[in-house]
Structure 1
């Protein structure tokens, strides 16, 4: 199973690092609405948020919510160059082997490998 990952542009914090797409929730937004907006802003793609899989807190006290989402199998991902340098579909092994993966993403992968949640097999997942 491959996961949608972006390489952050040189114009944002943690430039050049790999991470899952997403971002901050704006005032009045729900997590699913924020996820859909962020994917539209970063990759010009419409998604359907499916399930909140997991949550975590970074060492610098930022709360993260990890979601699965579906998109059309023929969706074209168009990176916003101000936010995204590259787009990749990578396996967990490939992510683990990358020295560029943001540290907070390792916690999510750890939870996945401990089977703290399950992602549906039949959907195109983020």
Structure 2
């Protein structure tokens, strides 16, 4: 049986990564994650990421590159992460989150990441052009 896939987006803008603080469910409330959600039947992971970021943050985003690897979330469920570019909108915590923060590379340890997001964030740090102003939205 294939594992259920949960996708998350590593949104980076002006050298900062977007982190989202969970407000639900209670066991995750107050912890931080890369925003995203479950891939629905018949949906591509990239399509799910676009939909989830629209629902959770009110933005239009474009998946750029899948971060190699996947991380277990529980029985039969895995996390896959993509770097993503904001196309339009300003992120707001609409569903399942009560706060968003843009974190510079030196600030990533300032929040209490969910355990499954920690290795993904480490991979993102290795791959994103943190000092590249060309990656910044105008």
Alignment map for 1:28-43 (pairs within 5 Å): 28-43=42-57
State the Cα deviation string for residues 107-126 of structure 1 (Å, max 9, x = none): 1233345x4xx23543359x
> In the alignment, what sits opposite 2:4?
none
Aligned to 1:96, the other structure's residue is in SS state helix
Unaligned runs of 5+ in 1: none
In the alignment, which residue of structure 2 is the partner of 1:46?
60
User: Which residue does the alignment assign to 1:17?
Assistant: 31
CA distance in 1, matches of 2:71, 2:29: 21
Query: Is 1:83 paired with 2:102?
Result: no
CA distance in 2, matches of 1:124, 1:25: 28
Task: Give the root-mean-square deviation of aligned CA atoms.
Answer: 2.4
Measured in 2, the distance between the counterparts of 1:110 and 1:83 equals: 23
Partners in 1 of 2:90 and 2:124 — Cα distance?
A: 27
- Contact in 2 for aligned 1:8/1:14 (Cα 8 Å): yes
1:66 — aligned with what? 81
Give how far 1:65 is off: 1.0
Change (3 A) 1:49 1:57: same
- Is the contact between residue 6 and residue 19 of structure 1 (CA under 8 Å) also seen in structure 2? yes
